[in-house]
Amino acid sequence: MYTLSPSQISKTIPAGGKWSTHISRGKQITFTALEDGANISLLLYNANDPAERYNMPDTLKAQHTSHLTKGHVLMSDNGRVLASIIEDSLGWHDTISGYTSRALTNQKYGITSYQKQRNDFYRSGEENFSVELFRNGLTPRDLTPVINLFSKVYADHEGNLHYVAEHSQKGDTVTLRTEMDIILVLSNTPNPLNPATAYPSVPVQISISEADPVQENDLCLNYRPENLRAFENTWEYILLSKGGIR
């Protein structure tokens, strides 16, 4: 399902679905879970130089966290801000579990194939990302650690990872603000640590509209000193490469 108005684009990504697009700086992207138990994995790249992309280690260590929520920024491997989390009803989004493979999908949910099940076969995150990366001039070699929106995974004191099954409820939302022109790549496939034996069927709605400009008191800008430096790096990059900033 896809709707378009002069001020907003809305699209629903069905369970197992994938999507990618170029989004300019200064937009806000709102993800809404349409049922309980959502998980949608995302990758981010600089649209003007895809060699620059979301860097999970730098994002986490700079903000002293293992998960993401409102106030956090998604940093690139060049120390710039690709996007910021400006709203969040959940308070925790997984950064460490990765995405599903074909082997894991077959093992957990049963062997399916397009030849037999057609569009009802169970997709994996790895396959979805590979297809969408190819559509944007990239290859599976450009896969990086993903962000799993709507999922909560934590580590105990022994280092074991735990998936929180009832973390996301129908109607939960998270909103990103783009700080650079980006390539957004999405896969609506299960979190690898989800213990469910039935393939999750949770559609996620995406709405894209204009974002308010960053103000001096912006939470993401001021969350940590490292955030401010990353924003400054971003503004400098835009100023030097495009001849001006907003």
CA 170 from chain centre, in angstroms, equals 18
Q: What's the mean pLDDT in 179-191?
A: 98
Q: How confident is the model at residue 199 (pLDDT cuts 50, 70, 90)?
A: very high
pLDDT at residue 218 tops 90:
yes
pLDDT reported for residue 3:
73
User: CA dist 41 to 15, 143, 158, 231, Å?
Assistant: 12, 12, 26, 24
pLDDT reported for residue 179:
98
> For the segment 131-150, what is each residue's pLDDT rounded down to a tens digit?
999 999 999 999 999 999 99
pLDDT reported for residue 74:
98
The residues, any chain, with a CB within 8 Å of residue 34's CB and separated by 6 or more, are 12, 170, 202, 203, 204, 205
> For the segment 83-119, what is each residue's pLDDT rounded down to a tens digit?
999 999 999 999 999 999 999 999 999 999 989 999 8
pLDDT reported for residue 245:
45
pLDDT reported for residue 246:
45
Percent of the chain with pLDDT over 90: 92
Nearest to 108 by CA among 46, 17, 199: 199
Q: What's the mean pLDDT in 22-27?
A: 98
Nearest to 124 by CA among 191, 196, 185: 191
Rounded to two decimals, what is the model's pTM? 0.94
192: tokens are 């690898």
| Terminal Cα-to-Cα distance of the chain (whole angstroms) | 33
pLDDT reported for residue 241:
87
Mean pLDDT for the chain overall = 95
pLDDT reported for residue 141:
96
Residues 49 and 191: their CA atoms lie apart, in Å, by 29
pLDDT reported for residue 2:
64
In the chain, what is the greatest distance between 2 CA atoms, to the nearest angstrom? Answer: 56
Nearest to 189 by CA among 158, 151, 139: 151
Residues 29 and 183: their CA atoms lie apart, in Å, by 13
Q: What's the mean pLDDT in 55-80?
A: 98
User: CA dist 183 to 1, 52, 205, 215, Å?
Assistant: 21, 11, 18, 24
Q: What's the mean pLDDT in 44-61?
A: 98
Looking only at the bridges linking them, the beta strands covering 182-187 and 2-4 are unpaired
Nearest to 83 by CA among 40, 38, 23, 11: 23
Residues 75 and 52: their CA atoms lie apart, in Å, by 10
pLDDT at residue 243 tops 70:
no
pLDDT reported for residue 4:
67
CB atoms within 10 A of CB 111: 12
Q: What's the mean pLDDT in 221-241?
A: 96
